Amino acid sequence: MKAPSPDQSMYTPAWQSLSERKEGARYFEAGYRVRTGDVDQQMRVRLDAVARYLQDVANDNIEVTEFRDTDPFWIVRRTVIDVIRPISWPAGFTAQRWCGALSTRWTNMRVRLTADHETNRFNPEPREPGLIESEAFWINVNDQGMPSRLTDDAFEMLSSMTDEHRLRWKSMNPDKAPSAADVDLPDRVHVLRSTDFDPFKHLNNAAYLEAVEDELIDHPDLVDVPHRAVIEYLRPIVPGTTLTLRRLRDGDRLLIWMLIPDDAGEQQVAATVSVSKLPGSELPA
């Protein structure tokens, strides 16, 4: 007998729009290109490609700041990606990055990607300009990987970009996975490759979203309209780990729990993902 369905109210997201840039505040801007390795079979820039863009922009940003030597180590706790208008190939795009909120040890860094689409023989139709808004919760860490206070100079520069100086962590995804018996979709093992890992032997942030793209193949209605993806990283995934995905489709939202075995072999949540339609994003009839 199938177990009773989980209480769906626990999965209802609390919608909140991303903050706008403070008028007159400093920000970083750089231009990039969409490459064919960034897009899916419909030439849409994939979520994992967006995550790589955000990493590249962050690295480029810190290299031109005053604290590249004093505050060089950061880890991402959460990334929010709002695909307002999809970006596709071919295109050039501009990234603007600024601090949307901070505390003494972490920041919400906003990145806005705006694309001017081009045409070629493979994608000859004109497309409207692309727009992706994102926000990442970055934790400043020391060379041992432990949360660390920002230096005074870094805090002064970042705090000038925002009036929110008391940022607190609050999860946006349900972090407790339902039992396998309580969901309709069977668990799926996602095979990890050696190229998915960074020099610190942690699964690269973008590689998590490659697994999500595999799932979205079966949920095209979520990505055919403006949508939000939220990934929260809870535990590191190291080489040799078996990664299992538990999936739940709840109305206009897909939830994914990425499970890894603990020392006793019991499944624990390493990351949570939600992909949902943005409010008012239904396709016209």
Can you say whether the dihedral through the CA atoms of 89, 37, 221, 204 is positive or negative? negative
CA 273 to mean position of chain CA atoms? 9
- Write the CB contacts of 115 (distance below 8 Å, at least 6 apart in sequence): 34, 87, 88, 91, 92, 93, 94, 129, 130, 131
Torsion of CA 243, 145, 51, 96, to 10 degrees: 170
Give residue 81's pLDDT.
98
Domains observed in the chain = 28-160 (3.10.129.10), 185-277 (3.10.129.10)
Look at residue 14 in the predicted model and tell me its pLDDT: 60
Residue range 127-167, pLDDT digits in tens = 999 999 999 999 999 988 899 999 999 999 999 999 999 99
pLDDT score recorded for residue 144: 85
Stretches in the chain below the pLDDT threshold 70: 1-14, 281-285
Output the pLDDT for position 66. 83
pTM: 0.93
* Token pair listed for 11: 């999965």
Which pLDDT score, from 0 to 100, does residue 4 have?
37
Residue 67: its pLDDT value, please?
87
The runs of H, that is alpha helices, within the chain are: 47-63, 152-159, 205-216, 220-223
Alpha-carbon distance 70 to 59, whole Å? 14
Given a contact cutoff of 8 angstroms between Cβ atoms, the answer to whether 234 and 205 are in contact is no
pLDDT of residue 12: 56
